[in-house]
Amino acid sequence: PSYIRDSTVAVVVYDITNLNSFQQTSKWIDDVRTERGSDVIIMLVGNKTDLADKRQITIEEGEQRAKELSVMFIETSAKTGYNVKQLFRRVASALPGMENVQEKSKEGMIDIKLDKPQEPPASEGGCSC
């Protein structure tokens, strides 16, 4: 499909309360790989963790599927915001050229250790002023 053609990242989302959506993830990931080959970062996302009482897919099943398909995995709740920022941070850190960003951001920085200031000697009157 054309929406995959020029993508660098694919976020494949399934509903943890819907077994059918989980079962479709292999096909969706295959579609991405057919269009983009191995030149794409794929994140499998189990969404709707806020509906845990209706869960049909365990975290372990999601992790296992991700491992089988050699993709990244995370669970989120778009409704509550749970793990949404973490999802995008992990995807961003997997982008080409981002592997050493933390180290590069430290280059040119120097550590400054601040010691506790020394107390000035007290004058004869007992006041340090």
Q: What is the average pLDDT score of the chain? A: 85
Compute CA 116 distance to the chain's CA centroid, rounded to the nearest angstrom.
39
Distances in whole angstroms, Cα of residue 39 to Cα of each of 5, 32, 36, 92: 11, 10, 6, 15
Residue 51: pLDDT band with limits 50, 70, 90 = very high
Decide: helix, strand or coil at residue 15: strand
Residue 39: pLDDT band with limits 50, 70, 90 = confident
Residue 128 has pLDDT above 90, yes or no: no
How many Å apart are CA 63 and CA 8, to the nearest integer?
22
Q: Which helix (H) or strand (E) is 75 found in, with range? A: strand 72-75
Domains of the chain and CATH, by start = 2-95 (3.40.50.300)
Residue 18 has pLDDT above 90, yes or no: yes
Q: What is the pLDDT of residue 37?
A: 86
Q: What is the pLDDT of residue 96?
A: 83
How many Å apart are CA 84 and CA 92, to the nearest integer?
13
Q: What is the pLDDT of residue 5?
A: 77
- At 19, the amino acid letter reads L
Predicted TM-score (pTM) of this structure: 0.73
Give residue-wise pLDDT tens across range 53-109. 999 999 999 999 999 999 999 999 999 999 999 999 999 999 887 655 545 555 555
